[in-house]
Structure 1
Amino acid sequence: RGAASPSSLAPRFRVPARTASRRSRLAQRAREMPPAVSGTTIFDDIFEVIDKDPDGKKFDKVSRFRCRSQFEAELSIDVNVDIYKLDVGTKFTLALAPTLSLDGTPEDAETYDQTGKESLADAYEYVMYGKVFKKEDENVGGIAKTCVTASYGGVLMQLRAGPKK
């Protein structure tokens, strides 16, 4: 197998106010590592929830959130609100990475790792694993943005962002 492709991205969520000490140590360690070692995070930004279930609630345990980042990225994401609560006005960090391994090693897609070994997931409160199934480059009014759509076992995420300056 080669390196993990960008089509298997796992977003990680972190709400800074509820970070435990072990989680803080792991997050600090991950930030101090070079990108190839820190799990190769390819996108991260702080988002604020601006709307919840804009088209009405379709499922009991899942809500769709519209969010905007400090760098003007737009995010629409389905979250299992039974296990992770988000409210309008909540700020959270979203990170996308092709692997959870702290040394950048790709995961084996057919095996669930039960070793208990530290991973990038330890630095976050809510982690999803899925596949990017659509990527489109857009140019609206001279502003270049990329729109990425991913599925996480039936829940969806759509991220529209331009390059960070």
Structure 2
Amino acid sequence: MAGSASDAQLFDEKFTIHKLSDKKYDRVDRVYGTSVDNSIEMSLDVNNELFPCKIGDDLTLVLATSLSLDGSKDDERGWRDVAKAGTAEATLADMYDYVCYGKIYKFEDAEDGQQIKAYISFGGLLMSLVGPYKKLTPLRVDYVYLLARKG
């Protein structure tokens, strides 16, 4: 049974970048941002050649379990395989500039007891989110797609 795309989207927030880390690697930047409503803090490693970011940029970030527009479960093919096969089927990835696939590997309570921390690894590029339970609890799954675009 196919769900809707909103069922597949676990998290959808807009962040403003307020800090970039010191360059530790040539092609990776760690960006730090705060959600527009100031409820979530985010850090994210990005490939700066594919998705360059600077302080003051607004990023829209989505975490989803599927790239299918109808929210149905992805088949065994990766999202790049669909494009290689020559199919014209649109995916959620078509609407974003930067797409990664990774594993949510850790949850922990924040010090204040009102918030939760989620940690995700996209092949070694890390993301952390700290925010209210209500907004981050849907992330209690194993694997997700990260989709990002500026604006």
Q: If the TM-score is normalised by the length of the shorter chain, which range does it land in?
A: 0.7 to 0.9
Quick check: 1:45–1:71 contact (8 Å CA) kept in 2? no
Matching of residues 85-96 of structure 1 within 5 Å: 85-96=52-63
Unaligned runs of 5+ in 1: 4-35
Q: Which runs of 4+ in 1 moved over 6 A?
A: none
| Native 8 Å contact 1:138 1:145 kept in 2 | yes
Confirm or deny that 1:69 pairs with 2:39: no
Does residue 7 of structure 2 align to residue 37 of structure 1?
no
**Is 1:136–1:146's contact at 8 Å kept on the other side of the alignment?**
yes
Give the equivalent residue in structure 1 for 2:107.
Answer: 135
Distance 2:130 2:91 in 1: 27
Identify the residue that residue 19 of structure 2 maps to in structure 1.
51
Q: Distance in 2 between matches of 1:45 and 1:115?
A: 27
2:32/2:44 contact within 8 Å kept: yes
The structure where strand makes up a greater share of residues is 2
Structure 2 residues not aligned, in runs of 5+: 84-88, 136-151
Q: Which amino acid aligns with 2:128?
A: Q
Aligned length: 125
Percent of residue pairs identical: 37
Contact kept, 8 Å, 1:100 with 1:120, in 2: the verdict is yes
TM-score by length of 1: 0.69
- The amino acid across from 2:41 in the alignment is E
Distance 2:117 2:82 in 1: 35
Please give the root-mean-square deviation of Cα atoms over the aligned residues, in Å.
Answer: 1.9
2:74 pairs with one of 107, 112, 120: 107
Determine the C-alpha separation between the residues in 2 that align with 1:42 and 1:152: 16
